[in-house]
Amino acid sequence: MIPNATDLPVLKPFRLGAPLPGVERSLTPMHAVVIVAALALAVGIGQAAAAPAAPSVLATLIKWTPLLAQGFALNIAMSFLAMGIGTGLGFGLGLALISLHRPVRGVAWFLTEFFRNSPWLVLLFYCMLLLPFELRIGDTIVPLPGWMKSTLGLSLAVMANVAELVRGAVNSIPFGQWEAAEALAFTRMQTLRMVILPQCIKRMTPPWMNLYAILTVGTPLASVVGVSEAMTLTGDILAAENRSELLVPMYLYLLLWFFIYCYPIARFTVSLERRFQVR
């Protein structure tokens, strides 16, 4: 028997610089050809429908790219903040779901199911309407802009989904792990911190990343409540140009931005699932 060998599922260490299987195929030349061909087709159709004296569709896209990039950067910032806030709150809520105290489990279950099954757009409307425009902390007034309130609304949905990820990951650990820790006189908190949660990391990481990708493509919902992100700015650009032939190319251009950002995340998630699978 190999010394120090174990049949327990363990999290393999990350090695910086070591390629993950599948990541090197995240964006192949064929994918790039399809992306460029779709955009070129939309630009060509729009150019054919444009007036003879109107600027070209491609030149118009290039002209408005800096403004669109600012809106897209706000989408990414909202996704990072919502994911961070939601993950922190959801981790605590997930631990409450496995609490030994029934009232705690009941309250946590209600919050999880309520926010998991609430439409994201409804949460955004409630946060925009119920949260104040500014908070007074002592003598300091802290403004709450629309994008921040929208971020808080999105984080509620993330919180509920992360809580369910934590609960599912903890319940997936074999019960023998709990018994072994109890035999070593570990407290429940020590068992969670030193035995259970470290093994849950590899189970939670791929779906957590997938949740982030879903959150990112969901941030344009904030345009409905008046946040000046990429979707809102795209509509403003179309209104400023007042050219119907720009409708399809402009929105396809925005779609490609989100695709290029989220597709590598999806491929990286698949590679992590392969690496972290229990053998």
B/e letters for 199-230, b = 16+ CB within 10 Å, e = fewer, are bbebbbbbbbbbbbbebbebbbbbbebebbbb
What residue ranges in 85-185 does DSSP mark as E strands?
134-137, 140-143
Sequential pLDDT tens for the chain (279 residues): 445 554 544 445 545 444 444 444 445 556 656 766 766 766 666 656 565 666 777 888 889 999 999 999 999 999 999 999 999 999 999 999 998 899 999 999 999 999 999 999 999 999 988 888 888 877 788 888 889 999 999 999 999 999 999 999 898 888 888 888 888 888 888 888 888 888 888 888 888 999 999 999 999 999 988 888 999 999 999 999 888 888 888 888 888 889 889 888 888 888 877 776 655
In a domain, 23, yes or no: no
Q: Are 14 and 278 in contact (CB under 8 A)?
A: no
In a domain, 10, yes or no: no
| Beta-bridge partners for 140 | 137
In a domain, 9, yes or no: no
Give the span between the Cα atoms of 255 and 73, in whole angstroms. 14
In a domain, 156, yes or no: yes
In a domain, 44, yes or no: yes
The tally of domains found in the chain comes to 1
SS3 262: helix
**What angle, 0 to 180 degrees and rounded to 10, lies between the N-to-C axes of helices 146-172 and 197-218?**
150
**What angle, 0 to 180 degrees and rounded to 10, lies between the N-to-C axes of helices 247-276 and 29-49?**
170
User: What pLDDT sits at residue 51?
Assistant: 56
Give the span between the Cα atoms of 161 and 166, in whole angstroms. 9
In a domain, 193, yes or no: yes
CATH number of the domain enclosing 160: 1.10.3720.10
User: What pLDDT sits at residue 25?
Assistant: 45
B/e letters for 145-170, b = 16+ CB within 10 Å, e = fewer, are ebbbbbbbbbbbbbbbbbbbbbbebb
Expressed as residue numbers, the domain containing 45 is 28-276
User: What pLDDT sits at residue 22?
Assistant: 43
User: What pLDDT sits at residue 32?
Assistant: 59
In a domain, 1, yes or no: no
**What is the pTM assigned to this prediction?**
0.81
H/E segment holding residue 112: helix 102-116
In a domain, 236, yes or no: yes
